Amino acid sequence: MSGQNPLSAQKMNRAAAERFVAAWCASWCKVDIDAVVAHFAENAQMRSPLALTLTGSPVVAGIENIRAYWRKAYGHIESADLRILSWSWDNAIARLTVWWQLGDTRASEFMDFDATGRVVRSEAFYGK
């Protein structure tokens, strides 16, 4: 894994979540998969309908598998016009929910964080 995520050096709170959303969006716009993956814990799990389509399983587990999945799904594009529509932070359960749009696809995605500020679980829901 390439270096430590500078945002993960602190416990997540609303201010850290706001910085995370900005960095996460910027990384996806550049399709910088390594930068996106840097936000995840080694044993993270992500769930996505696209994962089911590409891998046969809706769940991708482990940081290296997540990296490989995203490279397969998005590695062929150089940039993306990802727009953040809204986001919310739930401090009680350390959950960030982001509503975003990419082209015609709209999505909501939640991310749960560990005590070090890394994503341990995420799940995306897509619509039009």
- Counting other chains too, the contacts that 107-113 makes at CB distance below 8 Å and 24 or more residues apart are 113/12
Q: Which of 6-15, 30-39, 117-126 has the lowest mean pLDDT?
A: 6-15
Domain of 10, in residue numbers: 6-127
Q: Flag whether 85 is in a domain.
A: yes
pLDDT for 127: 85
The model carries a pTM of 0.86
Number of domains making up the chain: 1
Q: How far apart are CA 37 and CA 5, in angstroms?
A: 9
Q: Flag whether 64 is in a domain.
A: yes
pLDDT digits 0-9 by tens, 35-87: 999 999 999 999 999 899 999 999 999 999 999 999 998 888 888 999 999 99
| pLDDT average, residue stretch 115-123 | 94
**pLDDT tops 50 at residue 31:** yes
Q: Flag whether 45 is in a domain.
A: yes
CATH number where 106 lies = 3.10.450.50
pLDDT for 79: 86
Q: Flag whether 46 is in a domain.
A: yes
Q: How far apart are CA 123 and CA 112, in angstroms?
A: 9
Q: Flag whether 1 is in a domain.
A: no
Q: Flag whether 80 is in a domain.
A: yes
Higher per-residue pLDDT: 106 or 74? 106
Q: State the Cα torsion 60-63-66-72 to the nearest 10°.
A: -140
